[in-house]
Every structure is written in C-alpha cells, then in structure tokens.
Amino acid sequence: MFTRRTGAEVLYVLACLPLCLVGLVLMLAPLVVGSALSITFIGLPLAALGLLIARGLGNTYRSMARSLLKLDITKPAPPKPRRGIIPAVLLDGASWRAVFYVVLKAPLGVATFVLSGAFWLYGLFMLTHLTYWFALDDKLGMPFTDTKIDTWPNAILLALVGVLLLLAAPWVTRGLVFIDRLLLKGLLSATTLSQRVRDLEETRAHAVDDAAARLRQIERDLHDGTQARMVALAMHLGMVKEELEGDPDLTTTRKLVDLAHANAKEALVEVRDLARGIHPAALDKGLDAALATLASRSPIPVSLSVSLDERPPQAIEMIAYFCTAELLTNVVKHSHATNASVSVTAPGPRIVVSDNGIGGAAVKPGAGLAGLRERVATVDGTVTVTSPRGGPTEVVISFPA
C-alpha cells in the first residue's frame, strides 16, 4: 500500500497545487484581457498568448504525468499555420482543450490537495498523538472540534483511527488522481482523428523515403555492379576478337574467353539477386513457400510454422518476407544463436521470430529495427521487440487483419 507508486502520486499532488493556481492566473490574464480587447489590434495576439501558455502548461502536466504517474499522453500536433488576422492557435481545438484542462485543474488540484492531505495529516496526527498527549498540561483537542483527549482509552482509540486513516490515505489519493488521469487523457491527448492523420503523414513520409532509398540502391547496384561487369565483358570479347586475328595457338584467346565467361556468370548472379531484391520469385507461390526458402538458406537451423487461413495482400506479403529476411540476417550476424524459429499465424498475419542468442536487441533511431518498424507502419502494422540481456530474443510483427 505504501509503495513507490503511492509516493509518486503524493508528490504529483504536491507539485500540482502551486502549478495549477499560478498557471490559471498566467493563462487567464492575457486570455481575458485579449478577449475584452479583441476589437483592437492587440486583443487577438494577447488571447493567442493565453492559449499558448495553456499549451505550455499542458506540456508540463504531460511531462509530470509521464514521470510520476507513468502515464504516457500523446502530444497533440501543433496548430497548422494559416493566413489571416486570426492567429492559428485561436482556431486550434487542442489549444482550447488545454484551456479547459487548466481551468478545471485549479479546483481539482486544490480539492485533491485538501482531501488527500486531510487523510495523511489527520492520520499522522492521531497516530503520533499517543506519544506526547500525556506530557501536556492542557490536553489537546481534535482540530476543528471540541473533543478532548484526556484518557488513555481515548488516546489509544485516537491512534487506531489514525492507523485507519493512514491505511485509507493512499486509496483516497489514488482515487482523486484517477479523476485527473481521465481529464489528462480526455483534454490533453491528441484526438483519435488527429493522431491518425499524424500517423498517416509519418508513414507516408517513411514510405516515400524508403521507395527513394530503394531506387537509389538499385541504381548504385546497376551502375557499380552489373553495368561494370557488362562493360568488362564487352571489353574482353573485343580483345578476344582481336586475338582471334593474330594468335595462331589461341592460348591467350582461351584465357580471355574464360575470363569473359566468368564475368558473364557473375553479372547474371548480380542481376538475379537484384531481381530477387525487387520481388522474390518465391513469393509467387505464397508467403509460406517464400519463408521456407529463407529458412532453408539460413546458416543456422530455423524451424518454420505457417498457419494462414487465406493468402495476405501482396503488399503485406512482400513486407512480411523482407522483414523476416532482415530479422534472420540479424540473428546470424549479431545474436550468436544456435537456432531460431519463425511462426506465422492468422489473422494479419502475425509473425514471431525468436532465437536463443545473447539478446540485447533494441529499436534505436537509424538502426535496422527502426527501419523495419517504419516499413511495417506503412501498412498500419506494429513491431514489438523483447530482448533482455542474455536472451532470448523475440520480435513480433503484427499486421492489420
């Protein structure tokens, strides 16, 4: 009951009291004055300042809730710039919700502080009064009452009531903070529609960047690899042509032909790999066949289980294939695992890739798992990584059904 969570909630209540009172004054002053002077050229900017203060207070409350209450509130998107004499923040719904929260937070913060504090302070007073009541000449009475504690039975009874109050205090604090949690989620978080729009904008940007990166990679592969091989092949064939005209024993010609033949085979391998990177031929037979090909090529044993009611859409199949291929590559390169497993189940599909390696995998900006998460997000999928130090590692990729 008297846990770290209780201490964090009490600290949250104490920290919110001065902030909610000072914040209300700081926000209302420019907002009210600006509204009164809205017909002048300074009225609207002043009102906008009040809303900006409300948004700043909202950021502070979200940070406090995240650090003390372990409540992660999604930050609303900033106001979209617009033309005209009316500042964009005055037409932003999230800003006005922040204003309502600051207004409601002031009485709620005071009530939470008073009610919660009453249980904690009265409980401590009643419990500790037993240790010093007999030493006082004029026996103390209960605050705000005419009750006198002048006998041992009354003092012991008072201490028992104090214990009950202290036992109830964490729950009272938690209940009052729960009301604040509801207000935080309802007024300071991004709305479902706005969050959805932001997610779509981010995933679209990631998809565009990913497509551009893939095109650049294909161009580099063609220019630096296949094209160079084909140029070398043409040069060697030209040299063969010249040698055929002046080499009676054909020894040099045979060497040039062998070299040209080797270059041709390497060029074919590179073209085949490049084509496989654009669209693996194994996917034509379905995701189960493509993943079976991946598992068979892995340097370490990979157990595969695929259970799908129907074939997923082509876009999801390709993303699932490439993500699984990247995860198995990571297992081989970094995990020091001796075996791995791939499980694919419906709906979605849902892909689980696990290994018995050393663990420690994490989604870091710019790293492979972060890029994998961005790629999956383009089709509203999610990636969950569980990889404690020492292993095992499990990566779950879930696609929408």
Say what the pLDDT of residue 60 is: 92
Helices (H) and strands (E) in the chain, counts: 10, 5
> Over the stretch 227-253, which tens digit does the pLDDT of each residue have?
666 767 667 666 766 666 666 566 666
The pTM is what?
0.51
pLDDT digits (tens, 9 = 90+) for 157-208: 777 888 888 889 999 999 999 999 999 888 888 765 555 566 666 666 566 5
Classify burial at 9, counting beta carbons within 10 Å of its beta carbon; exposed 0-12, middle 13-18, buried 19 or more. Answer: buried
**Residue 274 pLDDT > 90, yes or no?**
no
Report how far Cα 150 is from the mean position of its chain's Cα atoms: 60
Q: Report whether 296 contacts 343 (CB < 8 A).
A: no
Instruction: Say whether pLDDT at 64 is over 70.
Output: yes
- The amino acid sitting at 159 is A
Higher-pLDDT residue of 7 and 207 is: 7
How far apart are the C-alpha atoms of 141 and 145, rounded to whole Å?
A: 7
User: Which pairs count as long-range contacts for 376-382, CB under 8 Å and 24+ apart, including other chains?
Assistant: 376/319, 376/323, 377/199, 377/202, 377/203, 377/206, 378/203, 378/204, 378/206, 378/207, 378/210, 378/319, 379/315, 379/316, 379/319, 380/203, 381/316, 381/319, 381/348
Mean pLDDT of the chain: 79
Residue type, 152: W
- What pLDDT was estimated at residue 177? 92
